[in-house]
Structure 1
């Protein structure tokens, strides 16, 4: 799965690969795991996620990354570690790539995402139920790319993150209203989108 988007203000200095982590134990259990208290040390990759990554790496179709930055959640760290081992690269921990915090929905069924997304569609700045606002997620995710653009040139950089933050980032980079982030096709686990 690969899409290409232009930067907001001209040509990218670097080539970016945005990767959603592989299928996780939270996906397997159908639970929302978005807090550092649970996500940093628990709910890593599921056996299915490990298989997905083995398949992806055996048939790698993108440019070889020179840098890998990843969310500090266990599922993204384990995903990034597998890619880094394949390419013999070191990793950079980047907490701004972490999962969107879903507040009072933490630990509940992932069916509850739909309630948050319905509110997002009306107001991307809402924080009802302690949920991190779409606008805040977009700002922190975009800040990572902006910083990389200032410091590097002509590199292929892999960013390993989570479904909702990546959907939000891609919506922002497309110049679309953030309230429309769920109108994009959902990113599959272990998928890569090329910028």
Structure 2
């Protein structure tokens, strides 16, 4: 699954392949796993996710990456391992790419997400139910790209993250109000969206 956006800036130094992790055990079970305490060591890829990644790397349709950077959650770590192995790269962790923390909804059914998304549409700064504010997610995700833009040039970098953070990042990069992040096309498991040079 590929989504290609036009360059969102005239001055990108690098190309970024924004990748959502493959189908996970949390997806399979329909539960929210957003805390490091539960997500770093548990809830990795499902069998479906493993198959998705095997197909994706066998039929790679994007520029070959120089770097693979990922959230430290198990599902993103395992996703990054597939891509890294394909290109003989050493993946590196950046905790700023972590899942958005969903606070009191942690461990509950994923049918609870719309409660938070409705609040997001009203206020990108809200932390109701102890969730991480959309604005905070946008800031940490953008900081990853801004750092790579400072320290590298002409490189292709895979950033492996999670659905909500990537939709929020794409909304921020497009200079749209963060309250509109759910209007961004949903990123399917194991999908890649290319941005930049």
TM-score bucket (shorter structure)? over 0.9
SS in structure 1 at match of 2:3: coil
Alignment gaps of 5+ in structure 2 = none
Once the two structures are superposed, residues 55-74 of structure 1 have per-residue CA deviations (whole angstroms, 9 ceiling, x without a partner) of 11111100000001000000
Q: TM-score, normalised by structure 2?
A: 0.97
Once the two structures are superposed, residues 38-87 of structure 1 have per-residue CA deviations (whole angstroms, 9 ceiling, x without a partner) of 00000000000000001111111000000010000000000001110111
Indicate the residue corresponding to 2:125 in structure 1: 125
Mapped partners of 2:6, 2:68: distance in 1 = 20
Q: TM-score, normalised by structure 1?
A: 0.98
Mapped partners of 2:5, 2:160: distance in 1 = 17
Q: Which runs of 4+ in 1 moved over 3 A?
A: none
Mapped partners of 1:26, 1:57: distance in 2 = 22
Indicate the residue corresponding to 2:7 in structure 1: 6
- Is residue 44 of structure 2 the alignment partner of residue 44 of structure 1? yes
Indicate the residue corresponding to 1:68 in structure 2: 68
Note if contact 1:5-1:174 (Cα within 8 Å) is conserved in structure 2: no
SS in structure 2 at match of 1:2: strand
Indicate the residue corresponding to 1:163 in structure 2: 163
Alignment gaps of 5+ in structure 1 = none
Aligned length in residues: 194
SS in structure 2 at match of 1:69: strand
User: Equivalent residues in 2 for 1:168-179 (5 A)?
Assistant: 168-179=168-179
Compute the displacement of 1:4 (Å).
1.8
Q: 1:90 to 1:52 in 2, by over 3 A?
A: same
- Is residue 88 of structure 2 the alignment partner of residue 88 of structure 1? yes
Compute the displacement of 1:153 (Å).
0.5
